[in-house]
Structure 1
Amino acid sequence: MVTFRFELNGRPTKNKTYVVYLRVTVGGKRKLIKTMVEITRPSDFNAKCKSENWIRGGVRDAKVLNAQLADILAKAKETYKELDKEGEVTTVALAKEMNTEAVSPSFLAFARERAQMIYDNGGWRNWRKYCGLINKMDAFRKKRRMADITVADMTVELLTRFDNFLHKWENEREPGKLLHPNTIEVQFNILRTLVHRAIEVGIMEASKDPFLVFKYKGVKTTKEKLSDTEMERIIALELEEGSLIWHCKNYFLFSYYCAGIRAADLIQLRWRNVTENGRLHYQMGKNHKDRDLLLVDQALDILRYYHNDDVKQDDYIFPLLDNDAPFAKFVTQADKDRMKPELRHQLYQQISAKNALINKYLKKIAEKAEITTNLTMHISRHAFAHIAQEAGAESSAIKNILGHSNLATTERYMGSFDTSKTDNTLRTLFKKKPTPKPQAEDILNGLSKEEQAIALLKGMSPEQIMAVISAINK
């Protein structure tokens, strides 16, 4: 006599999830077989379910998880029958056989769980990217009529088919166009990160990594940049002082004068970041690296517009974020790292909204300055790098001032701008050669004797001519 029943491990894992086990009882002896199904709350599990709905319907991916459990149960029953034909069945033998033929866990469920962890940790931008990939994978699953995408499904063949699927996906931001190859590269970069994470936590074998074989690389694009002349036109642009477009011009120029400070960092700058000796000291939000920059005269002039006797050290420099907002109490980057997810999300939304507003007015500034480049806050970073390179700055110096982690990043960044080598090659190759002076015989050829004599005499000094005459008279 054998019985099968699913039950939940009451002790959470280190990831604060609860694992579902299959309890097998043979001849009064029980054995628990671990499944790869995990849930976040014990109340989401229903041991006394009907119609194979062990995971309650309100749980994300409940249908997929229940399908996995149903497959495990069917496999257990089939395994029992096979063992029973061979002789006496024991729970140990059944568990051993089951573990060697374990049902592959859901890769989609794993990806959603990972995205939720990123969301809870405040990584809103990455969370959105992960959700974008998951939505595309789910659409791919439906088109392929797959019940799920499991870890075992993650093969080179599946990635190749997914690649083809993405190349037919319409670009939501630009209707009428398909996804850019570099956008597809981002999708595969995230997918590769998820696969490696699955290997780290032990739900996938390292030897099964499809990215050991599958490769995808986007295309090189020309980075938007501004010339020195275009920057001068923006600087010289006369706008109504105090207007929103005037402020946005100040934000852009301040970023430029401060070596391309990123928009999110600029928006969050406080007066405490300006030191008494005229420097800007802050920690980058993207990689938590410290930056200590000299504030040039042009940057100091902009700061004077916004400073008054009433400002406090912890006030924001630019009138973009509310000093009284709940998130404003978290001043340093270390403070912000300890913010609750909801508050961090609120700050992220405010920064995104302000960045979008600035970029909107930068497009108007570009029109007024007769600039065709798609002007955004990030272009100030490109403009600084390009003009610094044109001025002869070393790549290592540009790396340090941009806050890049390694020189290779800076060199790839500068690759689109540095044309000095190709310029010199073209100048050398097509350098005009001087017209050769005609030889004496070429000049005299075809002239009469009198004309030849005159031509020769023209090239002589008076003394030489007199010597020739004297020789003739002798």
Structure 2
Amino acid sequence: MASIKIVLRKKRRIDGSFPIYLRVTKDRKTKFFKTIFNAFPDEWDANAEIFTKKNSNYIQKNRLLSNIKDKAYRVYLNLKTEKERFTLSDFEHAFRVKSNPNGNNIFYFWDDLISEMLTAGRTGSARCHKDAFSTLQKFHGSTILNFENVNLAFLSKFEGFLRFRGGSDGGISVRMRCIRTVFNIAIERDITSADNYPFKKYKISKLKSKSAKRALEIGEVYKILNMDTSKHPELVDSRNYFLFSFYTRGMNFADIMKLKWSNIKDGFIQYTRSKTKGNFKIKILSPVEEILDYYRVQPTGTSYVFPLLKSDDLTPIEIERAKKQTLKIFNMNLKEIACHCQIEKTLTSYVARHSFANCLKQKGIATDIISESLGHQNLEVTQAYLKELDSSILDKASELLLPPQPTSHPHLRIC
């Protein structure tokens, strides 16, 4: 007989509480299944495996924990009936996928999805979903929310809640798309009915960001290209990352951070984009070559091109943490660069991607080659064109962004 218990794991969270897990032990092997709950030691009765009265909503939470434990027992007994010998992996599959009596609770199912994302190394998606998860839970005021209760009226009220807290159309859209993803997967796995799908009536497409365009014009890009970094050595790396992104068709920061020397061969950069998994082959233009030459003589001690990741052995979560820290510094430095170059627009890491599209339009490149809305508007359409077009067409288009005359850049040698 397996041991099935609800336990408080000894891994303290930032707020001092501890996560609550279902622990299953069989054949001297143990597997933990995370629940959506956390508790402080004085709120948890380890012997009874329940919340104490010191925890708010303890009755509802204990009821859900009881359901989780009952489900685990049912799954175990069903497996034992089907076959005498089974593994914890068999149990996990049956527990997570085949049988989910609490799947009607969107928070319970959503938390499982976030765990799956982390296991798959999709840390960026997991972070986005965690944020949407916690915001929705704060709005709802409870850990129990059934799929059928998330309808047009509910989502409209949630949108109002987000706006009251200062949310923009873009930010609200991100959270709503996370909820839509949860529904799509839940329907696909037969956790809920397609009849409960609220996004037939609630249209996320109405949430179009009204923020001003942040793309640079080509003259402003040249200002950054010709910036004398000898006076501001602390800004060298950030300037290089921005220009590298711009001249590599708007390569995003996550891919720049993880770019390896092995991705560079015979005058081209070949890499797989983290977000879309699309494969890209990009001709190395002269500004990119100068930047690469600069880092070739400054070895990082890793296989990475840029000194952003300190080790080749980082886990996906550690890489995500490093990205968050370095991106913050990068964006702070870009604001200083904008000031020194007398650029009045707000400069961020993503502006390089917007600017690439905008500058190509200024050079007369057709929208069907690379659209003005490379970022948040119709990004999927743009990516589809990029995937289908001959790479040489894009390389020739990119070359139009080079300065009118060959220019030496002593700042790269000095820094």
Q: TM-score range by the shorter chain?
A: 0.5 to 0.7
1:12-411 counterparts in 2 under 5 A? 40-42=22-24, 56-57=50-51, 64=60, 66-67=62-63, 105-142=104-141, 148-168=144-164, 170=165, 178-216=166-204, 217-221=206-210, 222-240=212-230, 243-275=233-265, 277-308=266-297, 315-322=303-310, 324-327=311-314, 343-398=315-370, 406-407=381-382
- Structure 2 gaps of 5+ residues are 7-20, 26-31, 34-44, 68-100, 387-415
Percent same amino acid among aligned pairs? Answer: 23
Query: Which residue of the partner structure matches residue 336 of structure 1?
Result: none
The amino acid that maps onto 2:254 is A
- Equivalent residue of 2:343, what SS? coil
- Equivalent residue of 1:293, what SS? strand
Q: 1:196 to 1:405 in 2, by over 3 A?
A: closer
Can you list the C-alpha shifts for 1:203-255, whole angstroms capped at 9, x where unaligned? 21112222222224213433311111111211221121892212221221122
The amino acid that maps onto 2:235 is I
CA distance in 2, matches of 1:205, 1:10: 33
- Equivalent residue of 2:251, what SS? coil
Offset, 1:391:
0.8
Q: 1:293 to 1:325 in 2, by over 3 A?
A: closer
- Equivalent residue of 1:214, what SS? coil
Can you list the C-alpha shifts for 1:422-448, whole angstroms capped at 9, x where unaligned? xxxxxxxxxxxxxxxxxxxxxxxxxxx
The amino acid that maps onto 2:294 is Y
Residues paired across the two proteins, number: 312
- Equivalent residue of 1:320, what SS? coil
Q: 1:147 to 1:285 in 2, by over 3 A?
A: closer
Can you list the C-alpha shifts for 1:240-282, whole angstroms capped at 9, x where unaligned? 189221222122112212221111111222222221x311112
Matched-pair contact (CA < 8 Å) for 1:253–1:380: yes
Can you list the C-alpha shifts for 1:407-433, whole angstroms capped at 9, x where unaligned? 48779xxxxxxxxxxxxxxxxxxxxxx
Can you list the C-alpha shifts for 1:296-351, whole angstroms capped at 9, x where unaligned? 1222122222224x9699722222222x4523xxxxxxxxxxxxxxx110111112
CA distance in 2, matches of 1:63, 1:124: 33
Matched-pair contact (CA < 8 Å) for 2:118–2:126: yes
The amino acid that maps onto 1:365 is I
- Structure 1 gaps of 5+ residues are 1-8, 19-38, 46-50, 72-101, 171-177, 328-342, 412-474
CA distance in 2, matches of 1:210, 1:218: 16
The amino acid that maps onto 1:196 is N
Q: 1:56 to 1:121 in 2, by over 3 A?
A: farther
Offset, 1:120:
2.7
Q: TM-score, normalised by structure 2?
A: 0.65
Q: 1:405 to 1:68 in 2, by over 3 A?
A: closer
Using CA pairs below 8 Å that are at least 6 residues apart, which structure has the higher relative contact order? 2
CA distance in 2, matches of 1:258, 1:103: 47
CA distance in 1, matches of 2:197, 2:118: 26
Q: 1:313 to 1:398 in 2, by over 3 A?
A: farther
Offset, 1:62:
7.7
Q: TM-score, normalised by structure 1?
A: 0.57
Q: 1:346 to 1:314 in 2, by over 3 A?
A: closer
Matched-pair contact (CA < 8 Å) for 1:271–1:314: no
